[in-house]
Amino acid sequence: MLISLIKYEFKSTYKIFFILYALVLAFSFINRFTMGFDISGINYWSSYINIDARATALFIFGALYAFLLITTVIMTIFITIQRFYKNILGDTGYLMNTLPLRPWMNIFSKLFVSTFWILLGMFVCGISVVILFTAGLSISDILKGIFTIFSEINIDIFIWGIKFLISTIIGQAANVMIVYCSISTGHLFNSHKKLMAFITFLGIMIITNYVSSTLIFNPSFNFANFVTGHVISGSEWFCSVINASILFNIIYIAVTFIITNYILENKLNLE
């Protein structure tokens, strides 16, 4: 059942994301090409009568590329909200909530798919930036560069790379769950449901930001260091941030999941 839910969630969302990702990648290739143009001799703003075609192309394609990146981010957020709001608490919720399934399955399937698209979006945007800024470099140059950077950092790259990846995945999943929890909490009110959802979201954001600034990103959070006066290095700080953010994001996911599940199980009111 859960697998089927995930399958249908992918089916309902993949088209728009594939189109966006294809456009982002296509435009990064175009920009890689136009960025290679030599326009150093052209004063673009004063010689508009003789606007150089290459400079125009550079400007237009650059603007389109930026626009596409912004669109991808906005659409990802929009679809994350829309899929939960409409498909669980809107008209199609009449179908989803009358399926013989526990509410947690609906929540989990949406969480899984939304987090997947966010991560894939980040990956595609990352690849696109690499395509853009590595014009003229060979793959071996790039790998050598990456290796040089990592060899200067005094940590176990493999372990911390994986930890960083896990913290990114969990962090994005926590963001999605915070959105779901806010929408569900807004649903508890008889009127102004959207406004109440937004206020809940702001409230949760204040709490999580407070936790981030005081506990996660604060180097003196480690009490032993604080007592001994040990000044931690950049890489030690990085490791502590990763560990703490994994821990706190797991707590955020657990709390928001329990609240959302409780509301859908006991307080559902599709009026």
Partner 1 sequence: MSEYILECGNLIKNYGNKKVLKGINLSFAKGKIIGLLGPNGSGKTTFIKIAAGLLKQTGGEIKIDNKKIGIETKAIVSYLPERTYLENSMRVVDTIKFFKDFYSDFDEVKALNMLQKLNINISDSLKTMSKGTKEKVQLILVMSRNAKIYFLDEPIAGVDPAARDYIINTIINNYNENSTIVISTHLISDIENILDEVVFIKNGEITLHKNVDEIREENGKSIDSLFREVFKC
H/E element holding 115? helix 103-133
How far is CA 221 from each of CA 19, 227, 244, rounded to the nearest angstrom? 44, 11, 10
Q: Is 269 in the site for partner 1 (CB under 8 A)?
A: yes
Among 43, 47, 82, 92, binds partner 1 (CB under 8 A): 92
* Residue 74 Cβ vs partner 1, minimum distance, rounded to whole Å: 20
* Residue 189 Cβ vs partner 1, minimum distance, rounded to whole Å: 9
* Residue 187 Cβ vs partner 1, minimum distance, rounded to whole Å: 12
Q: Is 82 in the site for partner 1 (CB under 8 A)?
A: no
* Residue 183 Cβ vs partner 1, minimum distance, rounded to whole Å: 17
Q: Which of 97, 82, 90, 104 lies closest to 2, judged by CA?
A: 104
Contact between residue 66 and residue 125 where contact means Cβ atoms under 8 Å apart: no
CB-count exposure of residue 38 (10 Å: 0-12, 13-18, 19+): exposed
Which of the residues 4 through 23 are near partner 1 (CB under 8 A)? 4, 8, 11-12
Q: Which of 74, 88, 163, 65 lies closest to 118, judged by CA?
A: 74
Q: Provide the sign of the torsion angle of the four alpha carbons 148, 150, 156, 161, taken in this order.
A: negative
* Residue 71 Cβ vs partner 1, minimum distance, rounded to whole Å: 20
Among 42, 62, 75, 97, binds partner 1 (CB under 8 A): 97
Which of the residues 182 through 211 are near partner 1 (CB under 8 A)? 190-191
Q: Which residues bind partner 1 (CB under 8 A)?
A: 1, 4, 8, 11-12, 87, 91-95, 97-102, 190-191, 266-271
